[in-house]
Amino acid sequence: MRCSREASNIQDYISGELSEEGRRRLENHLSGCESCRTCVDGMLLFRSRIRDLMRVSAPPDLRDRIAMIKTGSGR
């Protein structure tokens, strides 16, 4: 089982929000705890998969529409 004590730290670690010291402590724990390590690896993979799948580019016509407001508003 994953250590429930670390659950919230792991979440913040994934978000890149742990303090320097918190990160050191967690990484120290991870080096000796396989289930937390599996959990972290899974969460990192899950997050990067979501990011890769959900990132989009704005459609070109929207870019044009915004350029129009720009020139239309002032100067």
Are the CB atoms for 13 and 26 separated by under 8 Å?
Answer: yes
Choose one: 8-16, 18-26, 27-35, 53-61; the region binding Zn ion (CB under 5 A). 27-35
**Residue 6 burial (CB count, 10 A):** 19
Nearer to another protein, 31 or 50 (CB): 50
Choose one: 20-28, 36-44, 57-65, 66-74; the region binding Zn ion (CB under 5 A). 36-44
Q: Is 32 in the site for another protein (CB under 8 A)?
A: no
